[in-house]
Structure 1
Amino acid sequence: MSLLKEGYIDCHTHLADSMFDHDIETVIQNARKSGVAAALVCTITPRDFPLVLRLCEQYSDILVPCLGIHPVQKDCNGEVQCVTQKDLDEVVTEIEKNADKICAVGEVGLDFQPRITPDTSHKDIQRSVLKAQVELANKLNLPLNVHSRSAGKQTIAALKEFGARSVLLHAFDGRPSSAMEGIAEGYFFSIPPSIVRTEQMKLVKQLPIDSMVLETDCPGLGPVKGERNEPANVQISCDYIAKVKGMTPQEVKRITSQNAVKLFPRLKLILK
């Protein structure tokens, strides 16, 4: 497969985050200068939907939207809490209405941090919300952009159980053995720039390059803890993978971009 437009593809960002409100134009310019050909912009809460759609329309030659409900939400006071069925009900129609515009259903998934899921009922509702979004993605013939913090093995098991067809597991922090179960299902894994300061080298080493893509998860998961991340840093992930795999950065960029187009076919519309 040859891309019409060569470049990095950032498969998971949150560019509609308020941390980019004051300089989004500069951030996009930096991405272009760094060789980013496309970036996927994910929602977390229902409030993000219009923001993400508007941003991606404004920069339609480089940004593509992903709409979905994250397992962790915020209440009116900004406190984090577990997703509810009401959160999902608020957005199903919006996802369906924009199905021809979006690249994936996401960000969806499970997050079993103790403070988010203090008891079994919280885990059950997360599974229920994920199941509904897997079914919606299948109905709309769209891939999933998936979160799995503190729930790597459980998320892969749930995706298999719910019949997920096309999956990106972003910033996977589970065991490499759990990741291999996802590889067996044909899932892809994206690597953020924070890889340079974490202990996930074993994961990068074991994942086959044909199942890997790049991401930043900006504004989080940057190479320096606490500093705002942005798509221009996606090359850090590329260079790290190249070093671990004994490949050239150019090879990694080419293969991961091909993988991204395979996983997210609608990227072809902007890679002209």
Structure 2
Amino acid sequence: MIEVHSSDDVGCNYTEEQYEQKWVELVNGYLKQISNAFGFKEVTQACDYIWLEDLEGLLDSKKVVAVGECGLDITGRPSSKDFEKQKDILGKQAKIAQQKRLPVVIHCRGNYDTSNECLRCLTDNLPADHHIHRHCFNGSYAEYIKWKIAFPEVKFGISPFLLNEIKYPQFRVLVCKMELRDLLLETDAPYLPGADGSTGSPLLVKDLAEKIANPHNVSTEEVARITTDNAKKLYKIKEL
């Protein structure tokens, strides 16, 4: 199984020296089985547009398979100006992804309106056949269908939210309605904990596959095979 997780975003909280060191370690491809994705998310007015030039350079480095995470996030209650800048930066990153023919990893946190704004930013800047990964998707069935109609190649990341049925009972119902060909397995480790509250780990992909298998009436191995194929096609990964 492939654990799908984009690298930490090119953030504005680093000093220039920390920024350079952090990405030198990643872009040189020291770990052969790890591929990189670079992008901005949760931007504020303090973020300088010059960082987009740095991003374009990073996307030309070794083993880069996507632009992201990038997207919209209102959980920190951004000002209207900050939110407008988020949308502007997202649109610019989408254009870069189109130019470089790279998939986009979307971080979208908020409500249904946030999702609609995010989708509008993408439809304004990307063709309908562009590859998109909705990272840690936990929206509604209506939202799932709306994104599929807009971007038929979109894939939805299923995260450890699925393992916590007490806190997220509606998520299991949603996943049961989704098609396996639309799903990716991801843990967002170490940020999302396991069902028992333990620190998140990429090993949780096995638990996710087992949880998805039963309601879809297939084996765990079949879920692993299908979601791995989905990830390979989305990110154009030829060999593991």
Query: How does the TM-score come out when normalised to structure 2?
Result: 0.83
Aligned partners of 2:225 and 2:21: how far apart in 1? 32
Match in the other structure for 1:181 = 146
Aligned partners of 1:53 and 1:232: how far apart in 2? 27
Q: Deviations over 1:6-36 (max 9, x none)?
A: xx11111xxxxxxxxxxxxxxxxxxxxxxxx
Match in the other structure for 2:107 = 147
In the alignment, which of 101, 105, 122 is matched to residue 159 of structure 1?
122
Q: CA RMSD in A?
A: 2.3
Match in the other structure for 1:59 = 31
SS of the equivalent of 2:73 reads coil
SS of the equivalent of 2:173 reads helix
Q: Is the 8 A contact 2:38 2:58 kept in 1?
A: no
Within the alignment, does 1:106 sit opposite 2:68 as a pair? Answer: yes
Task: Give unmatched runs, 5+ long, in structure 2.
Answer: none
In the alignment, which of 179, 196, 200 is matched to residue 229 of structure 1?
200
Match in the other structure for 1:92 = 53
Amino acid in structure 1 at the alignment position of 2:141: P
Q: Is the 8 A contact 1:170 1:189 kept in 2?
A: yes
Q: Deviations over 1:92-145 (max 9, x none)?
A: 3343344252110011011122x332x422221110010000000001110011
The 1:175/1:49 distance shift into structure 2, 3 A limit, reads farther
In the alignment, which of 8, 11, 17 is matched to residue 45 of structure 1?
11
Q: Is the 8 A contact 2:45 2:81 kept in 1?
A: no
Match in the other structure for 1:205 = 176
In the alignment, which of 12, 29, 44 is matched to residue 83 of structure 1?
44
SS of the equivalent of 2:4 reads strand
Match in the other structure for 1:258 = 229
Aligned partners of 1:211 and 1:50: how far apart in 2? 36
Aligned partners of 1:260 and 1:148: how far apart in 2? 19
Q: Deviations over 1:188-225 (max 9, x none)?
A: 10111231112311321222111111111111122247
Q: Is the 8 A contact 1:41 1:52 kept in 2?
A: no
Q: Is the 8 A contact 2:95 2:125 kept in 1?
A: yes
Match in the other structure for 1:190 = 157
Task: Give unmatched runs, 5+ long, in structure 1.
Answer: 1-7, 13-39, 72-81
Question: Which deviates the most, 232-241 or 128-137?
Answer: 232-241
SS of the equivalent of 1:229 reads coil
The 1:94/1:256 distance shift into structure 2, 3 A limit, reads same
Amino acid in structure 2 at the alignment position of 1:254: R
Aligned partners of 2:196 and 2:122: how far apart in 1? 30
In the alignment, which of 188, 191, 203 is matched to residue 217 of structure 1?
188
Match in the other structure for 2:4 = 11
Question: Which deviates the most, 103-112 or 222-231?
Answer: 222-231
Q: Is the 8 A contact 2:137 2:159 kept in 1?
A: no
Q: Is the 8 A contact 1:44 1:69 kept in 2?
A: yes
The one of the two structures with greater contact order (alpha-carbon pairs below 8 A, sep at least 6) is 1
Match in the other structure for 2:86 = 126
SS of the equivalent of 2:109 reads coil
Aligned positions, number: 222
Q: Is the 8 A contact 1:221 1:229 kept in 2?
A: yes
Aligned partners of 1:50 and 1:226: how far apart in 2? 33
